[in-house]
Chains A and B, each alone.
Chain A
Amino acid sequence: MTMPIVRDRTVPIAIVAPAGRLDALTAPALRERCSNLVDQGTIRLVIDLEAVDFMDSAGLAVLVRALRAARSSGGDVKLSAPTASSVARILELTRFDRVFDIAATADAAADRFLSTHAPGARR
């Protein structure tokens, strides 16, 4: 599971990019990663799903926990690139596609934070 972080923006934003299966076995690592980021003050997270080819209800739980933690600190979580059909389907069935702001790419999701939190920032 690769999780690069980008901080070279006006507003600190972490892009977390799990890969492969996001399920009951792998979800705890992502949960801890997101929790640590919020605890350390990075309250704007992009969870990039482009490389995720399978997600289950444990994966959904991580998304909800991250959203709650970020919002309780004044931040937010955005999703990007749920390209695998199975991942898009689980987001639709649970209406998570309405709960989360979902962008086509991780960069586009991060840009939405900039437009929201730093209106004067150059796009």
Chain B
Amino acid sequence: MPESTGSRRIASLRLEANHAAMAALGEFSRGFVLGAGPSAAASVADRMELAVHELAVNVADHAYAGRSGPLAVHLRWDGLAVTAELVDAGSAFDPASATDPDLDHPRVDGYGLFLVRALVDDLVYRRDDNRNHWTISINIGEPATPAQKED
């Protein structure tokens, strides 16, 4: 369940990284964003849901090579941005394996990370303590306060 403190809101989900778990993960990430506040439009929820989904599928298919394994997803809303961190204990990500597709020549694979980059405002990958950490964020911002509007 999400926890709220003022304009902060956090939630975590732990799951087995496999394709069957993705619908529940989608509900989790989408529901979190929609509950973050009136400025978190449905389009932001769409973007975060798909970005988290693509990273989680990559974890299942590549980090765990289809054998499933634990995945933790931490979501945070701080009033200005929604951030997701995905942590898994699978094999390390190889950046050389993730070249952007040539959009003039559609292909069968290679769109996952491309989509994530296109959907979010910030993407960071790090390998720490034998775990992969993917952090993505989408800026939302809050409308100006009444005091600011008077200026």
Contacts and interface: CB of A to CB of B under 8 A. Distances in A.
B138 to A, nearest CB: 13
Interface of B: 19-20, 22-23, 26, 42-43, 46-47, 49-50, 53-54, 57, 60-61, 101, 103-104, 106-109, 111-112, 114-115, 118-119
A21 B23 CA distance: 8
A15 to B, nearest CB: 22
Q: How large is the interface on A (under 10, 10 to 19, 20 to 34, 35 or more residues)?
A: 20 to 34
B112 A86 contact: no
Given A21-B23, A24-B22, A25-B19, A54 B49 contact: yes
Interface string A85-106: 1100110011110010000000
Identify whether the interface residues of B are mostly helix, strand, loop, or mixed.
helix
A93 B46 CA distance: 13
Interface string A39-72: 0000000000000001011101100110100000
Contacts, number: 66
Interface of A: 21, 23-25, 54, 56-58, 60-61, 64-65, 67, 85-86, 89-90, 93-96, 99
B22 A61 contact: no
Contacts of A56: 50, 53-54, 57
Given A23-B53, A58-B57, A64-B107, A93 B118 contact: yes
Nearest to B43: A85
A94 B107 CA distance: 10
A89 B46 contact: yes
A54 B111 CA distance: 16
